């Protein structure tokens, strides 16, 4: 049983920007050093390709459309903070993502919940920067260590800094060693004229956007380092398990687009996941889902299984039963609030992966053993893929059947 747990989530951060997952640019030195001492999951899949679809998986161990059209956080979902709070674990959260704000119900079960909704932000940096988030979390850690040192805590810290519009400060461009000479106005113009329009016609502009993104990755890694330093200074590093993951990634033309829409390709739904302080460090090859994070956290505090959690504890790894990983999304651009009639699904078992767009009745089948980047869908589905279709179809628009009963 672990005394404390910290969950660090990095918004829109691709798995392949981390050195531990193969990147050679040195963008994540702190995270890579932590990962060397952690259990690293090579095959972790998000429950969705954007925040609204992804975070129900991370914090409620459920899927985005479990209750049909999403309108805030359904009361039937259980936030990981709620059973922990009821069990006497101190809970605190610090983030700046409007989709996860108190108004939408994400503040349930937290002793301290900061969502920045009362703070002013600008168009070029439409969130509270990570240095402020880290300062707030570090201050809370110091106060907790001084007043309630022996009380277990769960702390969730979410950083928005990798998210568009990609206008990094010069110091992080230089720190990442990137040859970018643009002024902030030019960076923001790329966001307005290229990224927002999903215009991939000019490969050079797409490349520059990806480098601006990389500078933000280097930036957020520094914030993680400062957070870990705060934990170490209060003497709680050795008593704390640390999860690091992201909600989804970003696309830079790999499948004809930019940013993160309702696509289900690897650059969006394959996420980093490593856990420090639980088991001996090492690589785990099992396919896991972000729905497994919340059950793992409650299990580390010795709580019984939570009703409604769909995942299972990741530890001990010898008892983890690998299953298929499921993701879903709706078209968020068709109309305000999203178009639930344009729903997309992803289902992976082992190295076989299916993507299904229901409105077009369109299927894509991939064998990841030979096509890890998902660049060439199979012309004819295999017998195994057809069997997976049946499993996936059982989950398509499942809420309609529930509403009829």
Residues 10-20 have a mean pLDDT of 98
**Pick from 27-36, 52-61, 169-178, 379-388: least confident:** 379-388
Residues 158-176 have a mean pLDDT of 97
Instruction: Single out the residue of 317, 318, 340, 315 nearest to residue 329, CA to CA.
Output: 340
Helices (H), 152-202: 170-175, 184-190
Which residue ranges does the chain devote to CATH 3.30.1120?
Answer: 328-404
pLDDT, position 148: 86
pLDDT, position 109: 98
Query: Taking all residues of the chain, what is their mean pLDDT, rounded to a whole number?
Result: 95
Determine what percent of the chain is predicted with pLDDT higher than 90: 90
What would the two tokens of residue 170 be? 């010069």
* pLDDT of residue 111 exceeding 80: yes
**Pick from 32-36, 147-151, 152-156: least confident:** 147-151
Pairing between β-strand 362-367 and β-strand 352-357 as defined by DSSP bridges:
antiparallel
Instruction: Determine whether domain 328-404 maps to CATH 3.40.630.
Output: no
Q: Give the pLDDT band (50/70/90) at residue 403.
A: low
pLDDT, position 402: 61
What would the two tokens of residue 116 be? 């920045």
pLDDT, position 404: 54
**Pick from 12-21, 92-101, 203-212, 274-283: least confident:** 274-283
Q: Give the pLDDT band (50/70/90) at residue 400.
A: confident
Which residue ranges does the chain devote to CATH 3.40.720.10?
Answer: 4-323
* pLDDT of residue 1 exceeding 90: no
- 276-328 residue pLDDT tens: 999 889 999 999 999 999 999 999 999 999 999 999 999 998 899 999 999 99
**Pick from 82-86, 120-124, 236-240, 400-404: least confident:** 400-404
Cα–Cα distances (Å) from 15 to 33, 115, 149, 272, 390, in that order, read 16, 25, 34, 5, 29
pLDDT, position 345: 98
pLDDT, position 280: 86
What fold is seen in the domain 4-323?
A: Alkaline Phosphatase, subunit A (3.40.720)
Residues 148-166 have a mean pLDDT of 96
**Pick from 101-105, 234-238, 379-383: least confident:** 379-383
Q: With helix as H, strand as E and coil as C, how does 46-80 read?
A: CCCCCHHHHHHHHHHCCCCCCCCCCCCCCCCCCCC
Report d(CA 296, CA 275) in Å as an integer.
10
- 371-397 residue pLDDT tens: 999 999 988 888 899 999 999 999 999
Q: Give the pLDDT band (50/70/90) at residue 69.
A: confident
pLDDT, position 338: 82
> What backbone phi and psi angles, to 5 degrees, belong to 149?
-55, -35
* pLDDT of residue 174 exceeding 70: yes
Report d(CA 77, CA 386) in Å as an integer.
32
């Amino acid at each position: 049983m672990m005394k404390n747990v910290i969950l660090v989530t990095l918004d829109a951060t691709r798995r392949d920007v981390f050195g531990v997952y193969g990147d050679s640019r040195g963008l994540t030195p702190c995270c890579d050093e932590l990962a060397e001492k952690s259990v690293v999951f090579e095959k972790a899949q998000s429950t969705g390709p954007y925040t609204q679809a992804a975070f129900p998986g991370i914090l409620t161990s459920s899927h985005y459309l479990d209750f049909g059209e999403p309108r805030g956080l359904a009361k039937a979902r259980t936030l990981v903070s709620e059973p922990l709070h009821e069990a006497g674990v101190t809970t605190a959260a610090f983030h700046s993502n409007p989709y996860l704000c108190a108004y939408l119900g994400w503040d349930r079960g937290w002793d301290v919940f900061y969502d920045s909704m009362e703070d002013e932000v600008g168009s070029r940096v439409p969130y509270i920067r990570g240095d402020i988030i880290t300062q707030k979390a570090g201050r809370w850690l110091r106060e907790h260590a001084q007043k309630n040192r022996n009380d277990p805590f769960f702390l969730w810290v979410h950083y928005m800094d990798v998210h568009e519009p990609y206008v990094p400060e010069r110091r992080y461009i230089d720190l990442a060693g990137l040859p970018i000479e643009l002024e902030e106005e030019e960076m923001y113009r790329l966001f307005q004229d290229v990224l927002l329009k999903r215009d991939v016609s000019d490969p050079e502009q797409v490349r520059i956007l990806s480098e601006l993104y990389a500078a933000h990755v280097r930036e957020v890694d520094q914030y993680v380092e400062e957070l870990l330093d705060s934990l170490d200074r209060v003497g709680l590093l050795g008593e704390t398990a640390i999860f690091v993951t992201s909600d989804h990634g970003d696309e830079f033309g790999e499948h004809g687009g930019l940013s993160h829409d309702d696509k289900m390709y690897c650059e969006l739904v394959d996420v980093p996941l490593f856990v420090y302080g639980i088991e001996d460090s090492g690589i785990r090859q099992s396919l896991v889902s972000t729905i497994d994070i919340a059950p793992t956290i409650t299990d580390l505090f010795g709580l019984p299984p939570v009703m409604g959690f769909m995942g299972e504890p990741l530890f001990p790894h010898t008892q983890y039963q690998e299953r298929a990983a499921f993701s879903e999304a709706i078209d968020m651009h068709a109309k305000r609030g999203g178009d639930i009639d344009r729903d997309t699904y992803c289902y992976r078992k082992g190295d076989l992966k299916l993507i299904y767009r229901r409105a077009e009745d369109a299927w894509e089948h991939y064998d990841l053993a030979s096509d890890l980047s998902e660049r060439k869908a199979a012309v004819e589905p295999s017998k195994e893929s057809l069997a997976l279709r049946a499993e996936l179809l059982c989950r398509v628009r499942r809420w309609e059947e529930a509403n009829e009963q």
